[in-house]
Amino acid sequence: MDLAGKKVLIAGGAGFIGTNLALAVAQRGAQLRLTIHDKSLQAHFPDAETLTADLRQPEDCARAVQGMDCVFLCAAHTSGAAVIRTSPLVHITPNVLINTLMLEAAHRAGVTRFCFISSGAAYPPTADRPVREEEMFDGDPADVYFAAGWMKRYAEVLCRTYAEKITSPMPTVVVRPSNVYGPYDKFDFAVSHVTAALIRRVVERHSPLEVWGTGNDVRDLIYVDDFTEGVLAALAADRPFLAANICAGTGHTVRQILETILRVDGYRDADVRYDPRRPSTIPVRLMDNSFARTELGFTARTSLEDGLRRTIEWYRRQNGPRNRL
């Protein structure tokens, strides 16, 4: 889909995914509208329209999508492992409202393409085998993701319903990310994911440097610039409904991720202490990238080392100089 001159809504324009996707879409000549809610935009978009909206309210959803050609639903209530463990229902009500109301509003407004950012956490566990797109509903999500996973699955079913099961259908794209990292991520320890939290601890030279869990959990990390390219590749596919993993297709342990961050940022002899008593989620989550590679022509190109270096450099620029050991 050629976005030049198209009217494009990024719902959740102040968030991590929304900010990076808006930067990529702006480079393609789209006319941007960005929704914000309780925080300001993180990047500068001089030609974009900014709309303050509570997407849990149907009238705000209707205002947001009015006149748009394409909608990217990046708005979501998210958090890290600690919150998921202690409050598994915290994501459900706000996200169900956002997802259902935005789909309904977009369809009523005649949007020509709708993209929903789902989650790899919605898949059933497959041990150490990368999970494929067709396996999404083969079993329940892992217990720790049960509520949030089914919330994402429900939104995916709604996307397919709008695309295939009604009169006057609306084409939809479902993107299932692996662990995305990079600039504009959340670095607040209370809500951050593992990579952002590790980067902050290293840049701030924590000593001891605490790591939640054993360090042996395995994750597929994809740099955010690669992820946005994958999203746009999925959007460009000429299909009424599409669900695709956008991932690197390679697993790394938390220990390997930390060792790479330490090396890239020159933090030698760090006193690293793993704490298995602290919350983590599931031991292994890997995703298969063969569909994106063969059907969408997309392959993640940024190495873990390069992606972490770029993220560290961005984080240090945003937060001022830190003492280097």
- What are φ and ψ of residue 175, in 5° steps? -110, 125
Distance (Å, rounded) from C-alpha 74 to C-alpha 115?
9
Is residue 98 a part of any domain in this protein? yes
Position 116 scores a pLDDT of 98
Instruction: Give the pLDDT of the chain (325 residues) as one tens digit per residue.
Output: 799 999 999 999 999 999 999 999 999 999 999 999 989 999 999 999 999 999 999 999 999 999 999 999 999 876 555 555 666 677 789 999 999 999 999 999 999 999 999 999 999 999 899 999 999 999 999 998 899 999 999 999 999 999 999 999 999 999 999 999 999 999 998 788 899 999 999 999 999 999 988 999 999 999 999 999 999 999 999 899 999 999 999 999 999 999 999 999 999 999 999 998 876 778 899 999 999 999 999 999 999 999 999 999 999 999 875 544 4
Residue whose C-alpha is closest to residue 292's, from 205, 233, 240, 210 = 233
- What are φ and ψ of residue 197, in 5° steps? -65, -40
Is residue 186 a part of any domain in this protein? no
Is residue 306 a part of any domain in this protein? no
Work out how many domains the chain is built from and give that number: 1
Crossing angle of helices 92-108 and 58-65, rounded to 10°: 50
Is residue 131 a part of any domain in this protein? yes
Is residue 286 a part of any domain in this protein? no
Six-digit token string for 113: 């393409």
Residue whose C-alpha is closest to residue 170's, from 294, 258, 69, 52 = 69
Is residue 69 a part of any domain in this protein? yes
Alpha-helical runs (H) found in the chain: 16-27, 58-65, 81-86, 92-108, 146-164, 194-203, 224-236, 254-264, 290-295, 304-319
Is residue 205 a part of any domain in this protein? no
Tokens 């946005």: give the residue: 228
Is residue 149 a part of any domain in this protein? yes
pTM score, two decimals? 0.94
CATH number at residue 172: 3.40.50.720
Give the structural domain span for 37: 7-181+221-246
